[in-house]
Amino acid sequence: MPSIYLSPSTQEYNPYIIGGTEEYYMNLVADAMEPYLTASGITYTRNTPDMTAASSIKASNEGNYDFHLALHSNATAAGDGKARGSEVYYYPTSVKGKRAADIIANNLKLIYPLPDKVSAIPTTNIGEVRRTKAPAVLIEFAYHDNNEDAIWIRDNINLIAQNVVQSLAEYFGIPFKCPN
């Protein structure tokens, strides 16, 4: 049975343009993922909102996980709300991380309104893909400072959760199952 460390954003200071925060919405996605993970036979341990990225990495590394999955939403540095898209980050030398990122990005293209703006991107700058013992991916589902993207996340929590767990099942080579 595959095991993951599930790490929704702990960034309560990142406000959505439509109200709420990155931490709030990414925890909703993680909540919605749990029944799909259980039904598909993927065990998980999850961080808590009072943790930080550093303590989440530490907790992940203290366990014996097959994969580390960080859930986030994005914002532009300029804060102009013009950017859109979904980005799936992985560490460049991680073959398993790249494979997972490619699967997740390809599946997100099926549900994100602008599939040409979905990509898998290598990075050495994100701790949750650089410092984790397990292969890791950090998903930036969409831009929470863009009205259309923020609404897409809010209105598609369950669809996003199902899509990500389908991707994990594909990555692990196991059947995806819907909860009863």
- The tens-digit pLDDT sequence of the chain (180 residues) is 999 999 999 999 999 999 999 999 999 999 999 999 999 999 999 999 999 999 999 999 999 999 999 999 999 987 788 999 999 999 999 999 999 999 999 999 999 999 999 999 999 999 999 999 999 999 999 999 999 999 999 999 999 999 999 999 999 999 999 998
Q: Is the pTM of this model over 0.95?
A: yes
pLDDT at 80: 82
CATH class of segment(s) 3-172: alpha beta
Kindly compute the dihedral angle of the four CA atoms of residues 143, 155, 106, 13, in this order, to the nearest 10 degrees: 30
Query: How does pLDDT run across 70-87, given as a tens digit for each residue?
Result: 999 999 987 788 999 999
Q: What pLDDT, on a 0 to 100 scale, did the predictor assign at position 177?
A: 97
Q: Token pair for residue 42? A: 């993927």
Indicate the SS3 state at residue 51.
Answer: coil
The predicted pLDDT at position 99 comes to: 98
Q: What gap in Å lies between CA 5 and CA 108, rounded to an integer?
A: 20
Determine the Cα angle at 116 with ends 118 and 6, to 5°: 15
Pairing of strands 118-122, 86-90: parallel
pLDDT recorded at residue 110:
98
Buried residues in 33-62 as b, exposed as e (16+ CB within 10 A): bbbbbebbebebebbeeebebeebbebbee
Which of 171, 180, 177 has the alpha carbon at shortest distance from 41?
177
The answer for residues whose C-beta is within 8 angstroms of residue 141's C-beta and 6 or more apart is 29, 71, 72, 73, 74, 86, 108, 153, 160
Q: CA separation (Å) from 126 to 49, 72, 91, 102?
A: 19, 12, 8, 17
In this prediction, residue 119 carries a pLDDT of 98
The pLDDT of residue 81: 86
